[in-house]
Amino acid sequence: MASSVPVSPLRLPSSFNFATDVVEYWAQKDPSHVALYWTDQSLSTTKQLTYSHFARQSRRIASLWATLGIKQGDTAIIISPRIPEWWEIGLACLRAGVVMCPCTTLLVDKDIEYRLQVSHATTFIGDATSVAKCLRVSSKCPNLRTIIQLDGVADTGAGVIDFHAALHKIPSDAPFRVPASLGPQSPGMIFFTSGTTGPPKMVLHTQTSYPLAHALTGMHWLDLAPGKIYWNLSEQGWAKAAWAWLSTWNCGASLFVHDDRLPFHPRRTMQVLNKFPITTLCAPPTVYRQLVLEENRRYFATAEGKPRALTHCCGAGEPLNESVVRTWKEMTGGIEIFDAYGQTETIVVCANQKVNKVKPGSMGKPVPGVPLVVVDADGNVTDPGVEGDIAIEISGSGSHHFFGFFEGYIDKSTGKIDNKIKTLANGKKFFLTGDRASRDQDGYFWFVGRADDVINSAGYRIGPFEVESTLKLHPSVVESAVVGSPDATRDEVVKAFVVLTDNAAARIAGDAEAAAELTRELQEFCKRNAAPYKYPRKIEFVEAAFLPKTISGKIKRAELKMLERRRYQEENAR
Ligand code: ATP
Ligand code: MG
């Protein structure tokens, strides 16, 4: 299948530049074609920026880079709220071959120091707040040469460059020639992973592994095309922001951006959907879990809570519970949530897609063109229903291979790049994702858990996701985290940390008997609604804040597992 632009994402092209081959393509077709709708925090100021605008502005910024000595192959960390400059600068970097490394505004000084050091970034671009953080650590970052501030008054005395003042000196129609040595496999972008299982890993993408291959994400999962307006809730520092940007523009659709700087609030999300003609939404499962709560469901049914133009909803990043998909469909009058699976390391490789029916609780089928499989330890594809490793098979040579995944992790001390591709016993090569799933008769993938999170109990292997999803069906449960807890006879038992609704929490507060009764009720509920051997033998009721989460909101099960180990050792030492 051809992508919306005349470059196919299924064959590695001999030359490709996202700025010239994608953005200028749409700009030339229609100079008034909107690439980005932007609104500020209060929803009062709005902007419509065209593909032509981004084409022109990115040439101008790339020229500025040249005058500042920022060149092809340099790494530039960018940290800013969702302001249009982020996309202008991102496009200028791809045009010039400057490796853009977006990070989240939530980072503190030491996180910025770590990222500047391990990425060897020469350039830091940020809003006033992030620049202040950067200045506090810059003396410990020997590669850093240039600091650019996007807003406010830059401290030029400290050597900070005021972006807008510097750009003002470059003619608005400045030409810029893409460097001849910038090829489809040249370094393109760096992202840090979410850090769910350990310190965030530095992932290097090429000029095509994200910028072109995400055309597949846009076509098959997000169902984007000219005329569609896509709102992705995640923050700019996560790979998902690049998923949104690159897939939307490859498909000639328009991005919608709300420069939201406040903590997530369901009402505001609904107000935005009501006020603007957004057709397509992507939110993480944790957001959908909030949106389907009773009080929000009621609001959704009112005139000011109803989405204006929404037709397609998507989720990714964490397992999406079946019950949430069903409730969302009910409350929206039939809109399903298309769950999809991918990593910072990959584009969306598995997705519920418009051409297939959505199976709630499943992450859908491999995206066309992606050699995604479930394999056993020897590299053989498992039978339907049999759990195995989710893997991308590396086959083909020359331009005929799937290229929508990373170049490798950059080793922070040596700078070497490791693509983690392994040859298994059957002689085939794979990129092993570290996640486990099974595939059903129809080819749908069902997520089991991260390989390290799968619980081994008396010879049974139990995926935490299924138990968490079962618990979520119970009206007293808001959220849970399920891990293996050490056990002398069973090796591990299933332990659930459960966050209760306010009502349920009030019912058991200070009443041990009521808590024990609710524990039994939840256990019986799990036995009835999932295979009985999977029920949580141990349940602990906790406050929402007790669950350790990454800054992007993912549950760090590994920490809870370690907590259980520590408790077990302490008990046995007594
Ligand atoms: P780290 O690699 O630093 O531990 P991380 O794996 O959470 O962090 P990301 O690249 O942001 O970093 O997340 C990718 C992971 O998120 C996947 O490997 C998978 O475990 C999980 N994931 C993504 N999408 C889904 C989905 N639809 N269903 C279940 N899990 C998902
Ligand atoms: Mg990971």
pLDDT in tens, 325-340: 999 999 999 999 999 9
Can you tell me the mean pLDDT for 162-179? Answer: 96
Ligand 2 center from residue 193 Cα (angstroms):
6
Does 194 contact ligand 1 (Cβ within 6 A)? yes
Within a 13 Å sphere around the CA of 448, how many CA atoms are in the beta-carbon half?
25
Rounded to the nearest 10°, the torsion over CA 49, 55, 58, 64 is: -120
Percent of the chain surpassing pLDDT 70: 98
Does 450 contact ligand 1 (Cβ within 6 A)? yes
Ligand 1 center from residue 360 Cα (angstroms):
19
- Give per-residue pLDDT as tens, 530-543: 888 999 999 999 99
**Average pLDDT over the chain, rounded to whole?**
94
Ligand 1 center from residue 281 Cα (angstroms):
19
Closest-lying ligand 1 atom to the alpha carbon of residue 195: 3
Does 176 contact ligand 1 (Cβ within 6 A)? no
Q: How far apart are alpha carbons 22 and 5 in whole angstroms?
A: 6
Closest-lying ligand 1 atom to the alpha carbon of residue 450: 20
Please name the residues in contact with 155: beta carbons below 8 A apart, sequence gap of 6 or more.
131, 135, 149
Structure-token match 């804040």, residue found = 545
Rg (CA), the chain: 24
Closest-lying ligand 1 atom to the alpha carbon of residue 344: 10
Residue 178 has pLDDT above 50, yes or no: yes
Does 433 contact ligand 1 (Cβ within 6 A)? yes
Amino acid sitting at position 272: V
Residue 528 has pLDDT above 70, yes or no: yes
**pLDDT category, 5, cuts 50, 70, 90?**
confident
- Ligand in closest contact with the CA of 196: 1
CA distances for 23 relative to 52, 55, 92, 243, angstroms: 8, 6, 11, 16
Closest-lying ligand 1 atom to the alpha carbon of residue 239: 11
Residue 58 has pLDDT above 90, yes or no: yes
- Give per-residue pLDDT as tens, 245-285: 999 999 999 999 999 999 889 999 999 999 999 999 999 98
CA proximity to 243, closest of 268, 210, 266: 210
CA proximity to 260, closest of 269, 252, 250, 249: 269
Torsion sign over Cα 1, 391, 289, 472: positive
- 573 C-beta neighbours (distance < 10 Å), count: 6
Residue 382 burial by Cβ neighbours in a 10 Å radius (0-12, 13-18, 19+):
middle
CB 128 within 8 A of CB 149: yes
Enter the DSSP assignment of 555.
Answer: B
Q: How far apart are alpha carbons 354 and 444 in whole angstroms?
A: 14
Amino acid sitting at position 13: P
Please name the residues in contact with 65: beta carbons below 8 A apart, sequence gap of 6 or more.
71, 92, 93, 96, 98
Closest-lying ligand 1 atom to the alpha carbon of residue 240: 11
Amino acid sitting at position 323: S
Ligand 2 center from residue 343 Cα (angstroms):
6
Helices 128-137 and 109-119 cross at an angle (nearest 10°) of: 70
Does 363 contact ligand 1 (Cβ within 6 A)? yes
Q: Which residues lie across from 498 on neighbouring strands? A: 480, 541
Mutate which of 289, 435, 436, 559 for ligand 1? The one with the most ligand atoms within 8 Å of its CB, which is 435
What does the angle CA 84 – CA 90 – CA 91 come to, to the nearest 5 degrees?
95
pLDDT for the residue 3? 52
Ligand 1 center from residue 317 Cα (angstroms):
5
Can you tell me the mean pLDDT for 189-194? Answer: 94
pLDDT for the residue 414? 85
Output the residue whose Cα is nearest ligand 1's atom 15. 343
- Give per-residue pLDDT as tens, 365-395: 999 999 999 999 999 999 999 999 999 999 8
Does 209 contact ligand 1 (Cβ within 6 A)? no
- Give per-residue pLDDT as tens, 27-42: 999 999 999 999 999 9
Structure-token match 């609780």, residue found = 361
Does 435 contact ligand 1 (Cβ within 6 A)? yes
pLDDT for the residue 286? 84
Does 196 contact ligand 1 (Cβ within 6 A)? yes
pLDDT for the residue 398? 60
- pLDDT-wise least confident of 344-358, 385-399, 401-415: 385-399
Does 201 contact ligand 1 (Cβ within 6 A)? yes
SS (H, E, C) 122-180: CEEEECHHHHHHHHHHHHHCCCCCEEEECCCCCCHHHCEEEHHHHHHCCCCCCCCCCCC
- Give per-residue pLDDT as tens, 428-485: 999 999 999 999 999 999 999 999 899 999 888 899 988 999 999 999 999 999 999 9
- Give per-residue pLDDT as tens, 97-144: 999 999 999 899 999 999 999 999 999 999 999 999 999 999 999 999
Output the residue whose Cα is nearest ligand 1's atom 11. 194
Q: Which residues lie across from 479 on neighbouring strands? A: 499
Closest-lying ligand 1 atom to the alpha carbon of residue 200: 3
Output the residue whose Cα is nearest ligand 1's atom 18. 343
Structure-token match 């090569």, residue found = 429
Percent of the chain surpassing pLDDT 90: 84
Closest-lying ligand 1 atom to the alpha carbon of residue 238: 11
Amino acid sitting at position 216: L
pTM of the model: 0.92
Residue 376: both structure tokens together: 């056993």
**String of DSSP letters for 182-218:** --TTSEEEEEE---SSSSPPEEEEETTTTTTTHHHII
Q: How far apart are alpha carbons 305 and 295 in whole angstroms?
A: 12
Within a 13 Å sphere around the CA of 473, how many CA atoms are in the beta-carbon half?
19
Mutate which of 196, 313, 448 for ligand 1? The one with the most ligand atoms within 8 Å of its CB, which is 196
